[in-house]
Amino acid sequence: MAPRLLCPTCRREIQWSEQFPFRPFCSERCRLIDLGAWLSERHAIPGEVADAAEQAPPAADEAPRR
């Protein structure tokens, strides 16, 4: 018996079998939605990281200068 799992996108229950070629997603549509969300998150992160680095130069003022 094939193990069952939930589609990460729409939470529909599917089976880990050849019936669902896009597993762990229930369909190609859900697979693309999840991929799109992941990519947009990746694109958002670099800006946030750059801002945080600019605001917090750790101990730069306390470092001895020559």
Residue ranges in contact with Zn ion by CB under 5 A: 7, 9-10, 12, 26, 30
Instruction: Give 63's DSSP letter.
Output: S
Closest contact distance (angstroms) between CB of 32 and Zn ion is: 11
Whichever of 4 and 12 has its CB closer to Zn ion, that residue is 12
For Zn ion, which is the closer residue by CB, 6 or 44? 6
CB-nearer residue toward Zn ion: 21 or 49: 21
Q: How far is the CB of 43 from Zn ion (least distance, A)?
A: 23
For 2-61, give the DSSP string.
PPEEE-TTT--EEESSTT-TTTTSSSHHHHHHHHHHHHHHHHHHHHHHHHHHHH--TTTT
